[in-house]
A and B are shown apart, each in its own frame.
Chain A
Amino acid sequence: MDQARRDRGTSDEILRTPLHALHIELGGKMVAFAGHELPVRYPAGIIAEHRHARSEAALFDVSHMGQIALGTASAGEELERLVPADLTELRPGEMRYTMFTDEAAGILDDLIVVRLEEGWMLVVNAACKKADLAHLTRALGPGCPARALESRALIALQGPSAEAVLARHAPDCSGLVFMRAAPMKVAGIDALVSRSGYTGEDGFEISLAASEAEALARRLLDEPEVAPAGLGARDSLRLEAGLCLHGHDIDLSTTPIEAGLAWTIGKRRRREGGFPGWPVIRRQLEEGAARRRVGVRPLGAAPAREGTEVQDLEGVPIGRITSGGFGPTLAAPVAMGYVASAQARPGTPVRLIIRGKAREAEVVRLPFVPHRYRKPESERRKGMP
Chain B
Amino acid sequence: MNALKYTKDHEWVRIEGDVATIGISDYAQDQLGDVVHVELPEGGKAVARGDEAAVIESVKAASEIYAPLSGEVIEVNGALADDPSIVNSSPLDEGWFLKLRLSDPGELDGLLDEAAYEDFIAGLE
Contact = CB atoms under 8 A, between A and B. Distances in A.
Interface of A: 1, 29, 40-41, 45-47, 232, 235-236, 301-303, 305, 325-326, 328, 333, 355
Given A41-B33, A46-B33, 7 more contacts: A45-B33, A46-B34, A46-B60, A301-B84, A303-B36, A305-B62, A326-B36
Nearest to A231: B60
Given A45-B34, A302-B39, A326-B36, A232 B125 contact: no
Interface centre among B33, B55, B81, B84 (most CB of A within 10 A): B33
B59 A301 contact: no
B10 interface: no
A47 B34 contact: yes
B14 interface: no
Interface centre among B55, B59, B88, B125 (most CB of A within 10 A): B59
18 contacts: A1-B125, A29-B33, A46-B59, A47-B34, A47-B59, A232-B59, A235-B60, A236-B59, A301-B37, A301-B81, A301-B84, A302-B39, A303-B62, A305-B61, A325-B59, A326-B34, A326-B36, A355-B39
A199 B125 CA distance: 32
Interface of B: 33-34, 36-37, 39, 55, 57, 59-62, 81, 84, 88, 125
A65 to B, nearest CB: 20
Interface centre among A46, A328, A333 (most CB of B within 10 A): A46
**Chain A to chain B: the 7 pairs with minimum beta-carbon distance, closest first:** A326-B36, A46-B59, A47-B34, A301-B37, A326-B59, A45-B34, A303-B57
B37 A303 contact: yes
Contacts of A41: 33
A233 B110 CA distance: 39
A332 to B, nearest CB: 9
Nearest to A301: B37
A335 to B, nearest CB: 13
Contact of B60 (A1, A40, A302, A328): A40
Contacts of B81: 301
A334 to B, nearest CB: 11
A232 B57 contact: no
Contacts of B61: 305
Interface centre among A29, A40, A305, A326 (most CB of B within 10 A): A326
Contacts of B125: 1
A236 B57 CA distance: 14
A302 B33 contact: no
A45 B33 CA distance: 6
B37 A232 contact: no
